Structure 1
Amino acid sequence: MMMNVLTKTLAAVALAGVALVAQAQDLKIGYVNGERVLRESQPAKAAQAKLEAEFKKRETDLSETGNKLRAAVEKLEKDAPMLSESERNRRQRELTEQQREFERRRRELLEDLNQRKNEELSAVMERANRVIKQIFEAEKYDLIVQEAVLAGPRVDITKKVIDALNASK
């Protein structure tokens, strides 16, 4: 009697497993590589070009300031033996203050750039998510994921998303 119940339970579990496998084969799953979308799509490239243009002057100015500062340090090192101690100390204080100002401006530039980059990439990802939703609905996907440890080429729809983003304006 007990063996009969165990056999029936095992048979039910086996049938459920077969049904689950059959059902899983009907699932339509897609994977999107978000990093690739942000690297290869035209909206992402346009955002990058926009950022480069927006920050080019500040980066150039900062680079020129850094070059002048290095030249001033080299000049002080060269002239130091001929300078009085008070003059050498005065110049070192000035260079230290200029170095602090340079570092402050560099940090501000990096913070501003990172903030703007996050804004621009967020806008691109919002557009990408709208495209993904359209593909999801139009092609009747059951699941689309953007992060996965591994995904095979059969489920990778990244190129389709990039192409749709590039086509939309």
Structure 2
Amino acid sequence: MVVASFAMVSQAMAADLKVGYVQVDKILQEAPQTAESGKKLEKEFSPRSQDLDRMQKQIKDLETSLDKDSLTLSENDRRNKERDVSNLKIEFQRKQRELREDVNLRKNEELGALQDRINKAVTEVAKTEGYDLVIYGGVAFASPKIDLTSKVLQSLGKK
């Protein structure tokens, strides 16, 4: 009798439970903030990237010049130029590594800020629509009728 009454209570509670699902990957791809973030990062790191491009061209030009003039240069001059090219390559690799690290750091910062905005939008939609549970992340299967992704994207578009 106790088991039967527990089963009826749990069925009644389940009938009143409103569940929703949000596709994280779709939101990260389609949210307007994602494109804004990408443009912001590109603008922020463009000067350093262009500097690296110029440096790479300079290295290539120096190597070409060294190959072309190697027969006419004295041994000492040739070694000096080779050392200069080698030092420039080392500096290029250092700057390239630093840029990559800085870009990754900023991407993570931007992603964290975007995730905060997404979480707020999910919460807003869930409260507005009266959801008891919203699953946000990895799910093997979710019916399209409980998918809130488009509503969350719409909410993000307003901001």
Counterpart amino acid of 1:160?
Answer: K
Aligned to 2:18: 28
Matched, 1:69 2:74: no
Deviation at 1:15, TM superposition (A): 8.8
Structure 1 gaps, min length 5 = 1-10
Matched, 1:99 2:89: yes
Mean CA deviation greater in 96-105 or 72-81: 72-81
Give the whole-Å Cα distance in 2 for the aligned partners of 1:109 and 1:133. 36
Matched, 1:155 2:146: yes
Aligned to 1:7: none
Counterpart amino acid of 1:79?
Answer: D
CA RMSD of superposed structures (Å): 2.4
Give the whole-Å Cα distance in 2 for the aligned partners of 1:101 and 1:32. 46
Equivalent residues, number: 158
Aligned to 1:46: 36
Counterpart amino acid of 1:112?
Answer: D
Aligned to 1:87: 77
Counterpart amino acid of 2:44?
Answer: E
Give the whole-Å Cα distance in 2 for the aligned partners of 1:105 and 1:85. 30
TM-score by length of 1: 0.79
Q: Tell me if the contact between 2:18 and 2:131 (Cα under 8 Å) persists in the aligned partners.
A: yes
Give the whole-Å Cα distance in 1 for the aligned partners of 2:71 and 2:2. 93
Are residues 81 and 129 of structure 1, via their aligned partners in 2, closer, same or farther at CA, if it must alter by over 3 Å? same
Give the whole-Å Cα distance in 1 for the aligned partners of 2:15 and 2:138. 19
Q: Tell me if the contact between 1:128 and 1:165 (Cα under 8 Å) persists in the aligned partners.
A: yes
Aligned to 1:145: 135
Q: Tell me if the contact between 1:31 and 1:151 (Cα under 8 Å) persists in the aligned partners.
A: no
Structure 2 gaps, min length 5 = none
Aligned to 1:117: 107
TM-score by length of 2: 0.83
1:76-102 Cα shifts (integer Å, max 9, x gaps): 223223333322221111111101111
Aligned to 2:50: 60
Mean CA deviation greater in 159-168 or 68-77: 68-77
Mean CA deviation greater in 95-104 or 133-142: 133-142
Give the whole-Å Cα distance in 2 for the aligned partners of 1:101 and 1:84. 26
Give the whole-Å Cα distance in 1 for the aligned partners of 2:139 and 2:76. 63
Query: Larger Rg: 1 or 2?
Result: 1
Aligned to 2:118: 128
